[in-house]
């Protein structure tokens, strides 16, 4: 990462990806405030970079560059800083400090777990910087303390998440899927969407159906079946807070997408295309409709947090 702060060689850099939920089943809120989830995550090729370098013990700073950088807290509220501090706390509170730089491309508060991805990146990068050799399962358990999506953002690929979405099992997925993302002008607060979900679903089930249609389509590498099986229980809540989401989803379907879904708690919408050429056509046409801030073509699955070695 080109940094205004120091020579390149001082930095450990990690690449992290955004995610789309191919299935997101949500149950009734538990007394502890969490909603049980049964979700299938897929990492997609929209990447942030997290760079870290040594700082004096106890000092943690962050600067954020790139799209929407101004929407991200550049202080101790930043999830990547929380991640670095958590790791330092575990291994020696008085030994470690770090300067962090985050290059953002994943939409902020867009339902693609960008903050969780940055936390995952900071955990891996600091573990390498400080020479801790933290085993992957330990990094994942630190990640779960920072947020339910952090363990998946460390792992990447395609996975079934249960519990709060942090109990992960890899899912077999054949082939590459071509997605078109419609990015929104506005952020959408995940807690607000869950709150509306509770209002709309007073009888939400305690036990959730497993998203078997989605998993079968992934095993078969069948994009058409996957498009038909995409499901998000949060979509009605997100659309009731942002009615334009229904118009964007309809537009993508009318333009020939195999499937259309709100990503996580939104407002990013994801459209599945049959192949790369269809994704190019869809993205051009969707852009010209002028319904969203920007359109991006991505593929999945891709890896989760990975060191950048060049």
Q: Min. distance of Cβ 82 from ligand ATP in angstroms? A: 8
Q: Min. distance of Cβ 277 from ligand ATP in angstroms? A: 29
Q: Which of 112, 144, 248, 302 binds ligand ATP (CB under 6 A)?
A: 112
Rounded Cα distance, 160 and 169, in Å = 5
CB neighbours of 269 closer than 8 A, spacing ≥ 6? 181, 182, 184, 245, 248, 249, 252, 260, 261, 262, 263, 292
Considering the rule CB under 6 A, would residue 305 count as an interface residue with ligand ATP? no
Q: Min. distance of Cβ 264 from ligand ATP in angstroms? A: 5
| Tokens coding 200 | 């709309």
Q: Min. distance of Cβ 235 from ligand ATP in angstroms? A: 14
Q: Min. distance of Cβ 145 from ligand ATP in angstroms? A: 14
CB neighbours of 274 closer than 8 A, spacing ≥ 6? 178, 223, 224, 258
Q: Which one from 48, 99, 149, 233 is the annotated catalytic residue? A: 149
Considering the rule CB under 6 A, would residue 110 count as an interface residue with ligand ATP? yes
Considering the rule CB under 6 A, would residue 146 count as an interface residue with ligand ATP? no
127 CB neighbour count, 10 Å cutoff: 23
Considering the rule CB under 6 A, would residue 12 count as an interface residue with ligand ATP? no
Q: Which of 42, 118, 184, 201 binds ligand ATP (CB under 6 A)?
A: 118
Helices vs strands, H then E, count in the chain: 10, 12
Specify the 3-state DSSP secondary structure of 220. Answer: helix
DSSP 107: P
Q: Which of 79, 262, 270, 291 binds ligand ATP (CB under 6 A)?
A: 79
Q: Is 19 a catalytic residue?
A: yes
For residue 39, the cross-strand partners are: 24, 161
The one segment of 20-28, 113-121, 171-179, 205-213 that binds ligand ATP by CB under 6 A: 113-121
* C-beta of 109 vs 235, nearer to ligand ATP: 109
Considering the rule CB under 6 A, would residue 116 count as an interface residue with ligand ATP? yes
Q: Which of 21, 39, 42, 78 binds ligand ATP (CB under 6 A)?
A: 78
Considering the rule CB under 6 A, would residue 109 count as an interface residue with ligand ATP? yes
Rounded Cα distance, 149 and 102, in Å = 18
Rounded Cα distance, 53 and 295, in Å = 34
Q: Which of 7, 282, 19 is nearest to 149 (CA)?
A: 19
Q: Is 48 a catalytic residue?
A: no
Q: Which of 111, 161, 211, 259 binds ligand ATP (CB under 6 A)?
A: 111
| Tokens coding 219 | 């095993």
Considering the rule CB under 6 A, would residue 190 count as an interface residue with ligand ATP? yes
User: Got the DSSP string for 244-270?
Assistant: HHHHHHHHHHHTT-SEEEE-TTSS-EE
Specify the 3-state DSSP secondary structure of 105. Answer: coil
Site string for ligand ATP, 25-64 (x = CB under 6 A): ----------------------------------------
Considering the rule CB under 6 A, would residue 304 count as an interface residue with ligand ATP? no
DSSP 76: T
Specify the 3-state DSSP secondary structure of 28. Answer: coil
Give me the active site residues, please.
19, 149
Which residues make up the interface to ligand ATP (CB under 6 A)? 72-73, 77-80, 102, 108-116, 118, 149, 187, 190, 264-265
């Amino acid at each position: 990462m080109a940094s205004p702060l120091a020579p390149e060689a001082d930095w450990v850099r990690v690449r992290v990806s955004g995610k789309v939920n191919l299935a997101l089943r949500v149950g009734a809120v538990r007394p502890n405030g969490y909603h049980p989830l049964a979700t299938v995550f897929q990492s997609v090729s929209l990447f942030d970079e997290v760079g870290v370098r040594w700082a004096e013990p106890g000092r943690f700073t962050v600067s954020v560059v790139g799209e929407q950088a101004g929407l991200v807290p550049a202080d101790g509220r930043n999830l990547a800083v929380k991640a670095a501090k958590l790791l330092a706390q575990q291994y020696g509170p008085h030994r470690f400090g770090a300067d962090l730089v985050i290059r953002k491309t994943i939409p902020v508060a867009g339902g693609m777990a960008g903050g969780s991805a940055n936390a995952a990146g900071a955990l891996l990068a600091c573990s390498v910087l400080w020479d801790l050799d933290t085993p992957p399962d330990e990094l994942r358990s630190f990640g779960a303390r920072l947020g339910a999506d952090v363990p998946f953002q460390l792992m990447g690929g395609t996975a079934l998440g249960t519990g709060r979405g942090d109990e992960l099992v890899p899912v077999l997925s054949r082939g590459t899927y071509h997605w078109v993302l419609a990015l929104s002008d506005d952020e959408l607060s995940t807690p607000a969407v869950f709150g509306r979900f509770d209002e709309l679903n007073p009888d939400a089930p305690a036990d959730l159906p497993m998203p078997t249609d989605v998993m079968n389509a992934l095993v078969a590498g069948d994009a058409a079946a996957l498009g038909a099986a995409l499901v998000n229980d949060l979509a009605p809540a997100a659309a009731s807070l942002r009615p334009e989401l229904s118009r964007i989803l309809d537009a993508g379907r009318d333009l020939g997408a195999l499937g259309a879904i709100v990503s996580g708690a939104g407002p990013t919408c994801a459209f599945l295309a049959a192949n790369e050429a269809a994704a190019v056509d869809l993205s051009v046409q969707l852009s010209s409709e002028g319904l969203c801030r920007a359109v991006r073509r991505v593929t999945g699955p891709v890896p989760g947090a990975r060191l950048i070695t060049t």
